[in-house]
Structure 1
Amino acid sequence: MPLPFLDRDDEQRRLRRFMGGEDSRLAVLYGRRRCGKSTLVQRMCAESDVYALADERESALQIQALASEITRVVPAFDAARYPSWDALFSSLEARVERLNLVLDEFPYLVSSAPELPSVIQRHLDRPGPRRLRFILCGSSQRMMQGLALDRSAPLYGRAQEILRLTPLGPGWISEALEVYGAAAVEAWAVWGGVPRYWELAQRYASLQEAIRDLVLHRHGVLHDEPQGLLLDDMRSATQASTLLALVGAGCNRLSEIAARMGKPSGALTRPLANLIDLGYLRKEVPFGEDERSSKRTLYRIADPLMAFWFRFVQPARTLLERNLLEPVEARLSAAFPQHCAEAWEVLARESVPRLRIGGIGWGPASRWWGNGRGGPMEFDVVAESLDGESVLIGEAKWASRPDTGRWRADLRARAASAPFLRGRRLVCALWVKEGEESEEREDIVTPEMVMAALR
């Protein structure tokens, strides 16, 4: 059953404004696959608009297919044969007053007709009435970014809208899969915010069944998903896959990664930056340190499905290829709570700017680790108030048997000796899987509160 259309209010507003604008010329919509780009633009298209989904055929066949689609709104448009993209656009401009032309999976068109961006540029730059509004969509993030953001690209500086579609906020998973509280966190720890993953998972009675059939089984739709995502943006996924595998296995420092790969650290700076730009890796530095200059940078897998896959699937490929799922599921069952605990930490930090803990507005949160007055220490959540006068220090707990009294006392004792307080007011909070019965305190944050905030 298809999912209901969720969120994307800002993207819809911007596309609606563009598609109705008198001076609109070019919009670019891109992002990783399965995030709902095609669904979004199809939802926005009126009957009088033209939507065309490209494929990997030769350019002449693509032109013919587009001409056939245009015939739906321009009678007999496909009666003629168009020898080039320029001929098709010129003929179309001569026969319409205004038309929204959506070219989905635009990188496929460019791969068979590299001149196409330059052809579109010429039509955009021609004097006179602007009769075609081009909306270019694609899953190859690198190519789509290059089309609109690279100063040397023909279409640079010509787009009125450049929209990067990212995964949906974690809170929407509750509405999509009808899971709430801790179950919503567990689902997000596997599927992240990708609508297509949710649509696939909703067919199953349990999360475990969905994981087994979609991800673990060698014929599962998502069994090789990370490889497909990487190949959308690079000719070979070997180096990127190796980097993600090492980070997923716990090599989080650049020096460790370089040593395992037998390469100098400097040779890995750009590949790591590329994976960060694509949304698959993230940098982590202690609270208060500059990400660009910190000597204590850690790398983490940013995408939940990628993190799950490189933790549980990649190390077990041999067993899974032989359809020996039981030992893999046994390991998964034992390690899944820790996987969810790490995802819960991420959600805790993301929720901080959306929650007025202690009645105070907070900036973005980070982890912190280092030496305090009592020796080495670390905190899961640290943030500064928007007015700079208070510091929030928190812990994320994923235990089924809460002991908030002990956790609170331990946190306050350690937080009091944090070196970054510098005389500012201390506010402590706990993010817990389950609160103790009858406990309602402003320093306790539950999965229900986090998921409601992250929508």
Structure 2
Amino acid sequence: MVRFVGRDRELAVLHSLLREVADAAGSGRPGRCLLLRGRRRVGKSSLVETFVHDADAPDVFYTAAGASEAVELAELANAVDQSDLPDRTVFAEAIPGNWSAALRQLASILPEDRTSLVVIDEVPYLMDRVDAFEGVLQRAWDRELSRKPVLLILIGSDLSMMEALGAYGRPFHQRGQEMVLGPLTPAEVATMLDLDPASAFDASLVTGGLPLVCARWRPALTLWDFLSRELADPVSPLLVSAERSLAAEFPDYTYARRVLSVIGSGERTFANIARAAGDLAATTLTRALDALVSKGIVAAELPVSTRPTRARRYRVTDPYLRFWLRFIQPHLPEIERMRGDIALERVREGWTAWRGRAIEPLLRESLARLLPDQALPSAPVVGGYWSRSNQVEIDIVGADHGPVAKQLLFLGSVKWLEQAPFDRHDLLALQRHRAAVTDAPVPLVALSRSGCNVSGLDASYGPEELLAAWRPHPLS
């Protein structure tokens, strides 16, 4: 079983909700509901399974599979039969014919005198396959389930559908508390894998903080040791997790998959993506990009500056998926022929250039979490800047608003190389780029893997400080 690292806060929330149910026993509506969403393979089901195991309450854990309604209802009946609910035999006597009857029947067998747990995993499958499922769920909750001392946990990997489930104007609005489970943070990866700060950032880029992939990285292994072993195993989670997730997310979206591959290969602008994807028509590409952005797989970003611009760029949001699209997907046949050594050499050759850009979003988030400090203020927006011609690119832009800011708070550069510190040439380039976007003496900052050997910066941060930004801060 994958060891839980850094999930203490989420487990505490789940136990707190269960206590709320117990404390509300005897009231008219003691039930509580949690809507838990997160990308595939971040450990949602494992988190809830751990909680259920630790909780002293009867439970039923059902996972939808996208099958026909009859099959899903039979699986629900089987899950109830395998549960420890006191009156579970009711389902064995008569399988309900629809979801309205199933939820009503489930509510009828929940205990009146003690708390219980009901978990429905992969809820988006039901939302997609069952007519008016949200309305059915809302009526069952309002009329039966919420009147029992039960904690109902609804889990889903389709971020947009799970977010819509609790949205304003939808039947289940304001009936459940929402929780978003992200991947392991760089600090959690460092703890789990016993890595120094710089190596922990590398590991986060390759694994994406996915617990299943991280679990294969034995403590203290180097990046190249890990990749050598995983690329030699055709069924390694590093190789197969992305394909399985994409097959579930986009079973019928041929163009979306093609466009995603192009963005993962490094294309960032609309025109270049269209060309690399086979000269896609603008309307076709727009639909594909909209689908990718709505599911949170791709980010559509604008430069942060005081002047509006339409120089939009696209990037893959998940570092692991970005790594997989660049280095693994194109060479899967080769890896399956047991030539992972060739794929490993390609990673070695392209690693420095790929990491230099892939690390930027992660370091921006690190800096946003770190500030304020004695050198720089906190920034509501930490992004980047680029001109349409790409002649001016600034890795770090801190601003009061985004993408169109009223005030720029600081500008910065990322230099993430093992043997090359941030030096005088890097500072001069950053000063030139500052002059291209503002006349104000905006503070300058460097994020460097190997330190700085130049004066003239207002602040600089290395891997240690940036990793510490991901650790919980005690409340004062």
CA displacement at 1:381 relative to structure 2: 0.9
1:241–1:202 distance in 2 versus 1, CA, 3 Å = farther
From 41, 51, 56, give the equivalent of 1:44. Answer: 51
Native 8 Å contact 2:231 2:344 kept in 1: no
Q: Secondary structure at the match of 2:444?
A: strand
Does residue 206 in structure 1 map to residue 214 in structure 2?
Answer: no
Q: Is 1:265 matched with 2:282?
A: yes
| 1:253 maps onto 2:269 in alignment | yes
1:203, CA displacement in angstroms? 6.7
What are the within-5 Å matches in structure 2 for residues 51-450 of structure 1?
Answer: 51-54=60-63, 56=65, 58-70=71-83, 72-75=84-87, 77=89, 80-84=92-96, 85-95=99-109, 96-97=111-112, 98-107=115-124, 117-126=134-143, 130-131=147-148, 132-149=150-167, 151=169, 155-157=171-173, 159-202=175-218, 205-215=221-231, 217-260=233-276, 261-288=278-305, 294-353=309-368, 354-356=370-372, 358-370=375-387, 376-384=391-399, 391-407=409-425, 409-411=427-429, 413-419=431-437, 421-423=438-440, 425-435=441-451, 443-450=459-466
Per-residue deviation at 1:333? Answer: 0.8
User: Which deviations, in whole Å up to 9, do the C-alpha atoms of 1:376-401 show, x marking residues without a partner?
Assistant: 32211111269976631111112223
Normalised by the size of structure 2, how large is the TM-score?
0.81
- The structure-2 alpha-carbon separation of the partners of 1:433 and 1:177, relative to structure 1 and needing over 3 Å to count, comes to same
What is the one-letter code of the residue matched to 1:263?
L
Secondary structure of the 1:331 match is helix
What's the CA shift string for 1:225-244, capped at 9, x where partnerless? 22211222233253222112
Structure 1 residue 268: Cα displacement:
2.0
Q: Does 1:13 align with 2:16?
A: no
- SS in structure 1 at match of 2:445: strand
CA shift digits 1:181-212 (9 cap, x unpaired): 22111111101222222123237833223324
**Helix, strand or coil: the match of 2:268?**
coil
Distance 2:79 2:388 in 1: 63
CA positional deviation for 1:443: 1.9
- In structure 1, what is the Cα distance between the partners aligned to 2:288 and 2:16? 37
Alpha-carbon contact 1:391-1:426 (below 8 Å) kept: yes
Q: CA deviation at 1:176?
A: 1.5
Q: Do the aligned residues in 2 keep the contact of 1:352 with 1:363 (CA within 8 Å)?
A: no
Q: Which moved more, 1:172-181 or 1:226-235?
A: 226-235
CA distance in 2 between partners of 1:128 and 1:299 (Å): 43
Distance 1:207 1:393 in 2: 31
1:123/1:346 Cα in 2 relative to 1: closer, same or farther (>3 Å)? closer
Q: 1:370 to 1:123 in 2, by over 3 A?
A: closer
Partner Cα distance (2:72, 2:362) in 1: 45
Q: Partners in 2 of 1:235 and 1:269 — Cα distance?
A: 19
TM-score relative to the length of structure 1: 0.85
Amino acid at match of 2:279: G
User: CA shift at 1:157, angstroms?
Assistant: 1.6
Structure-1 residue corresponding to 2:474: none
Q: 1:7 to 1:277 in 2, by over 3 A?
A: farther
Task: Sort the Cα spacing of 1:149 and 1:401 in 2 relative to 1 into closer, same or farther, 3 A.
Answer: same
RMSD (Å), alpha carbons: 3.5
Equivalent residues of 1:380, 1:395 under 8 A apart: yes
1:426 deviates by: 1.8
| Further displaced range: 214-223 or 33-42 | 214-223
Residue 446 of structure 1 deviates from its aligned partner by: 0.4
Give yes or no for contact 1:11–1:163 (8 Å, CA) kept in 2: no
Unaligned runs of 5+ in 1: none
Counterpart residue identity of residue 302, structure 1: T
Identity of aligned residues (%): 23
Specify the alignment match of 2:35 in structure 1: 28
* Residue-pair matches, total: 446
